[in-house]
Amino acid sequence: MKLKYLLFALGLMAICTSCVKPEEVSSESEYPFQNPSLQIEERVDDLVGRLTIDEKLNQLFNKAPAIERLGIPEYNWWNECLHGVARAGKATVFPQAIGLAATFDEDLMLRVATAISDEGRAKHHYFADNDARGIYMGLTYWTPNINIFRDPRWGRGQETYGEDPFLSGRMAVNFVNGLQGDHPRYLKSIATVKHYAVHSGPEYTRHVDNIFVNDRDLYTTYLPAFKTAIEEANVQSLMCAYNRFRDQPCCGSDLLLGKILREEFGFTGYVVTDCGAISDFYKKGYHEVVESAEQGWGWSLAAGADLNCEESRAFMENADSALHVGILNEKDVNLSLSRLFKARMQLGLFDPPEMNPYAQIPMSVVGSEEHLDLSLEAAEKSIVLLKNDGILPLDKGQKVALIGPNANNFSVLIANYNGDPIVPITPLDGFREAATDQLVYTPGSPLVPGIYSDHRVIEAERFWHEKEGERVPGLKARYFKSTDFSGEPALEQVDPNLDLRWEFSPVDGRMDVPFSVEWTGYLEPEQTGNYVFQGNVIVELNGIPVGDQPLPLEAGKAYELKATHVVKDFWWSSNYQQQFARLSWFDASRDLEAEALEAASVSDVVIFCGGISANLEGEEMPLETDGFSHGDRTHLKLPAVQEDLLAKLHETGVPIVYVNFSGSAIALNWQQENLPAIIQAFYPGETTGRALANIIYGKTNPSGRLPVTFYRSVDDLPPFLDYQMEGRTYRYFQGKPLYEFGYGLSYSDFRYADLQLPSELASGESITVSATVTNSGNVDGREVVQLYISDEEASVPVPIRSLAGIKSLDLKAGESQTVSFVIKPEQLALIDKDYQSKLEAGKFQISVGGSQPGQKALTEGSVLSASVTLKD
């Protein structure tokens, strides 16, 4: 795989040999800012100096309009690529961020991010070539999310790299480097670390929360990943959070944006606000720290927030008077503009494309074989084996009952902030590939009562319309240039069913333009049942709106259908690049439990794909049901409808391999006690099914590690809104977890020997640590080596232990390899009683192994520990 990327890089270099040089285009420049032979600072100063105040202010919003008199096209700063280019049509979908973290693999993270930025660059230039410059088309990505996943109830924790500051920092550095590239002149794209700072739920109160923690928690838990990304990866953008911190909104915090970010961390890029965060300054029921939009905007600019993710209208209405009285300061405006235009110039957006090798990346990289192979590798390495009593790997000759609401659930592949996968493979698809006629499938239950996962697109055979009194297949479709169905249709045709995608607008053949469409005809079910509908179209049957409740339909009866859909630009989100219409259904009258028990009765083994999905946990969602509230979770239990089914399947005596899909920890207490094998899959991306089958059948040896603690109960946790770290995560939790951070099994055994480190060292010295790792098993495998530090004589509260090093080793059966780490002096520092960073003399325990010390030992000799004394 590395060779493929080297060849691709060499290809770019070859392309670049024909690139024009800056001096070759300077004579063609009308203005100095257009002259690529000048220094960026000189070009930026020239450009900002040419703008009117109205032009300046309008450029400070995510949807920056064109400045036609200067030949500057519009630019929308909002784009996403959390685990693949998102919301912009087809793209390779890699495992969700929490799954990428579970690989504990820095090199893999760099390769994944490089692939994502390849696809992002290709898509950006493809859009620009088609004169499309809307949302999700730029090169400024609002990712990665490096907040600490401090509490498993947080629905957006799936977007993070877990609960540990060191792991989050290492993953962030490699992801940022992969996105931003390594060209001496140009940025490949721009990464944005978010959400700064002290931000991790609850979702429902994020617009009003006022968080307080002391400097010890601030500097040892909430800020390290940001500091690492800035100092080691030179990340060029940062997003400030919705909440307040110590009474000031994060997007107006002098402490966070000024003293810490710019002065202490040396950040030189630009700051973008979370979307709508400045409105939270003044809106009733939110922070209410100012009285008007202009006051909030002026405050945020003065504090150092450069780009406002909002509609400009409310802020521009009184901008002139705000400037006149000093609520807005033009000096602050110019500084923010300089940062923003510098970023666009670093991306090469003001230079001829021929100068920029990244502008030559072709669209053929999107969903390429290499990227799909990489997606599979990442998926396999992200899956964590939690328990195996010897049942795994399975024999392919066994008859398998594949059961569970996530066995054919598309959403567990893609999670949230996702693209449209190239070749999505659900667990059902993967096991059909692997088990062929040895497989029987049923979903067995809903995810939670009333929420079904195995919807299928309504087949074309179920739709028809009348033409001259005759029954004709398909639906009559009328397409309008308007978004309210007004005017005469621009296009009339027959669409076979409601499973459509448009790369270009059907009304005029262009990208990035709004339209609306209306379908009429009849829906005729083949079977009688209570049907639950799902999709992004608005539907009426016999004049009655179709909601989210089951609708009784009779076989052979024709129901008059009207469906509508609008493709429209919204400031909060846009489906311009997700121009699709889809309507699917599920027959909720099926006796799913009976189907599951029947499937088990004719099988040798049950593979149960359960858990939750990103339709239940995520960002500020309306859903409220048992266990879930507004995107967050209210307890850690598996939904009761699934646990009840598992218990009944267990009673049959057929062994069960339980596969849990979730972006957060589930209390799998019953499963651990009763089932022979448990797998944590997170949300593994578009190759989910193939990766899972490869692991279960032994083609791939599992190697994932948990990036979060799996607790036994929500009762083990402090209150959700308490941001103090005491009692949270493996670093401070005093109880006994179900599965600890860093835990994960293999089909191999790995033993450690010959731990080497000094017994004493002077203050300020680094420590070199080494150990020999041997694969003592019978199969080749990958071992994730983890180094932990415990300060055993600290004078102030410190973590029980902290991760301080990770290395991945691929070892053949019987092979040994020596692994080395260097512990830097600052990794031994603490925050003293005066809340200052300090190296304090004393004894430290250093542990190297395949898991944490003193926890679930994987095998005897799987963790080695020794002490080192730090002298004054």
Contact between 701 and 782 under an 8 Å Cβ cutoff? The reply is yes
Q: Could you identify the residue written with the tokens 């087809």?
A: 90
Contact between 677 and 391 under an 8 Å Cβ cutoff? The reply is yes
Q: Per this entry, what is the length of the chain? A: 872
Say how far apart CA 432 and CA 442 lie, in whole Å: 13
φ/ψ (deg, to 5) at 608: -105, 115
Q: How far is CA 860 from CA 391, 744, 850, in A?
A: 21, 15, 11
Say how far apart CA 687 and CA 527 lie, in whole Å: 32
Does the CA dihedral 562-568-571-573 come out positive or negative?
A: positive
3-state secondary structure 727-772: CCHHHHCCCCCCECCCCCECCCCEEEEEEECCCEEECCCCEEEEEE
Active-site residue flag, 46 = no
Catalytic residue among 164, 420, 617, 791: 617
Contact between 477 and 495 under an 8 Å Cβ cutoff? The reply is yes
Say how far apart CA 774 and CA 394 lie, in whole Å: 25
Say how far apart CA 404 and CA 844 lie, in whole Å: 47
Contact between 449 and 625 under an 8 Å Cβ cutoff? The reply is yes
Helix extents (H) in 276-346: 279-282, 293-303, 313-316, 319-325, 330-346
DSSP readout, 189-255?
A: -B-EEEEESS----STTTTT-EE---HHHIIIIISHHHHHHHHHH---EEEE-SSEETTEEGGG-II
- The closest of 578, 640, 649 to 612, measured between CA atoms, is 640
- The closest of 511, 578, 569, 582 to 90, measured between CA atoms, is 578
| Cβ-based burial of 88 (10 A; exposed 0-12, middle 13-18, buried ≥19) | buried
| Cβ-based burial of 407 (10 A; exposed 0-12, middle 13-18, buried ≥19) | buried
Contact between 238 and 199 under an 8 Å Cβ cutoff? The reply is no
φ/ψ (deg, to 5) at 124: -60, -50
Contact between 401 and 605 under an 8 Å Cβ cutoff? The reply is yes
Catalytic residue among 105, 163, 203, 274: 274
- The closest of 148, 158, 141 to 95, measured between CA atoms, is 158
Q: Which amino acid is at 649?
A: L
Say how far apart CA 555 and CA 526 lie, in whole Å: 5
First to last CA, the chain: 48
φ/ψ (deg, to 5) at 434: -85, -35
Q: How far is CA 566 from CA 450, 522, 542, in A?
A: 27, 21, 21
- The closest of 482, 529, 481 to 509, measured between CA atoms, is 481
- The closest of 286, 287, 288, 261 to 272, measured between CA atoms, is 261
Say how far apart CA 99 and CA 688 lie, in whole Å: 11
Say how far apart CA 700 and CA 684 lie, in whole Å: 15
- The closest of 656, 164, 688, 77 to 429, measured between CA atoms, is 688
| Cβ-based burial of 852 (10 A; exposed 0-12, middle 13-18, buried ≥19) | buried
Three-state secondary structure call for residue 779: coil
Active-site residue flag, 548 = no
Residues serving a catalytic function are 274, 617
